[in-house]
DNA sequence: ATTATACCCTGAGTGC
DNA sequence: TGCACTCAGGGTATAA
């Protein structure tokens, strides 16, 4: 699924198509995704001006001028497709929602596994409802996040570093790819317990995580299965992955150990047994 | 309280 | 070619 860099890429692509426009039509091709789609989505949103498209963690947020925010999560396999004007793409069985904008563009939400969802919230109360009321610091560009606060947040718990990075209450936006990448880059074991981390190690991890995320955003995220830029381009960061999907490849740090893959809390984890301690 | 596990769902890939 | 099986970028309700 889209993690932070992929959702950010989608967010940036949606901005020019949506901000200052409105939805003329919202076509629901099924009543539910992970949860029921609000039945009154179209009547509440159509012809209302869109102020802002933004991202929080892995959520896309579309703010309307009448204090409504469309919360849009893409689950594991969700894709957003912005059609060129006048062009009509071949429909897919999994095109669940089709938005038509006042700019006469069609925006298609395609999600084979349907782990994604759409919800509505009052804009000014968004941070008081789940999951936004418990989300951790934004992994990038959060003024309250630094090595010190990250260290405090980690040492308060006793879970593996990999689980901590995936826990959206600890830090928001990180998923399985970038958790493995950041731990590899920081030379920290995914099995290391959070309460054993020194301040210097927490700083190193945060720096590595932010570096990986920024580099991924710069090239449009990672295209492994489903993620494609809404205009049809693919992301390129999969070519720069040093750990994720790299089992049996030589570790780029030590050049002498093959990376291994293990299941950790039900998710694949990739790491170097020698470099990551 | 925190921390693990099962599960939602389809499609792609593998091995027989 | 077909079938059975595993795994996949996430989050949540449960159980321990």
Q: What does the block give as tokens for A70?
A: 């469309």
Range of the domain at A91: 4-128
Domain termination site, one of A82, A107, A128: A128
Which tens digits make up the pLDDT trace of A144-196? Answer: 999 999 999 999 999 999 999 999 999 999 999 999 999 999 999 999 999 99
With cut-offs at 50, 70 and 90, classify the pLDDT of residue A260.
very high
Residue A276 maps to a domain: no
Query: Residues A157, A207, A214, A267: which is the catalytic one?
Result: A267
pLDDT at A87: 81
Average pLDDT, chain A: 95
With cut-offs at 50, 70 and 90, classify the pLDDT of residue A204.
very high
Domain termination site, one of A73, A108, A128: A128
Q: Is residue A58 flagged as an active site residue?
A: yes
CATH number at residue A74: 3.20.190.10
Cα angle value A4/A190/A234 (rounded, 5°) = 30
Residue A120 maps to a domain: yes
CA of A96, C1' of C2: distance in angstroms = 30
**At residue A1, does pLDDT exceed 70?**
no
CATH number at residue A259: 1.10.8.50
**At residue A225, does pLDDT exceed 80?**
no
Q: How many CB atoms lie within 10 A of CB A26?
A: 19
Overall domain count for chain A: 2
Instruction: Tell me: do A117 and A215 sit in the same domain.
Output: no
Which tens digits make up the pLDDT trace of A51-100? Answer: 999 999 999 999 999 999 999 999 999 999 999 888 888 899 999 999 99
Distance from C-alpha of A257 to C-alpha of A272, rounded to nearest angstrom: 7
Residue A25 maps to a domain: yes
- Which bases of chain C are under 7 A from a protein CB atom? 7-12
Q: Is residue A113 flagged as an active site residue?
A: no
Q: Of the candidates A160, A148, A207, which has an alpha carbon nearest to the alpha carbon of residue A181? A: A207
Instruction: Tell me: do A142 and A111 sit in the same domain.
Output: no
Residue carrying structure tokens 């006048």? A86
Domain termination site, one of A128, A152, A184: A128
A217 in contact with nucleic chain C (CB within 7 A) = no
Instruction: Tell me: do A98 and A165 sit in the same domain.
Output: no
Instruction: Tell me: do A51 and A156 sit in the same domain.
Output: no
Instruction: Tell me: do A53 and A141 sit in the same domain.
Output: no
């Amino acid at each position: 699924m889209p993690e932070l860099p992929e959702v950010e890429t989608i967010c940036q692509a949606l901005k020019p198509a949506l901000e200052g426009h409105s939805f003329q039509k919202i076509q629901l091709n099924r009543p539910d995704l992970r949860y029921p789609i609000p039945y009154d989505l179209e009547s509440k949103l159509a012809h209302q001006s869109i102020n802002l498209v933004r991202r929080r963690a892995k959520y896309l947020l579309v703010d309307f001028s009448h204090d409504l925010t469309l919360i849009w999560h893409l689950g594991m396999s969700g894709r957003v497709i912005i059609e060129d004007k006048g062009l009509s793409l071949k429909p897919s069985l999994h095109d669940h929602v089709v938005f038509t904008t006042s700019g006469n563009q069609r925006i298609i939400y395609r999600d084979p596994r349907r782990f994604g969802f759409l919800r509505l919230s009052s804009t000014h109360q968004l941070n008081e409802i789940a999951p936004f009321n418990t989300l951790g610091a934004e992994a990038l560009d959060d003024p309250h996040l630094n090595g010190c606060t990250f260290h405090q947040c980690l040492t308060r718990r006793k879970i593996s570093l990999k689980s901590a990075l995936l826990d959206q209450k600890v830090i928001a936006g990180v998923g399985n790819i970038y958790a493995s990448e950041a731990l590899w880059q920081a030379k920290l074991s995914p099995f290391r317990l959070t309460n054993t981390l020194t301040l210097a190690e927490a700083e190193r991890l945060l720096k590595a995580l932010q570096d990986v995320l920024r580099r991924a955003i710069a090239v449009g995220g990672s295209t492994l299965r489903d993620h494609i830029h809404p205009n049809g381009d693919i992301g390129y960061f999969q070519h720069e992955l040093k750990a994720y999907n790299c089992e049996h490849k030589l570790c780029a740090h030590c050049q002498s150990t093959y990376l291994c893959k293990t299941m950790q809390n039900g998710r694949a984890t990739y790491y170097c047994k020698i470099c990551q301690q």
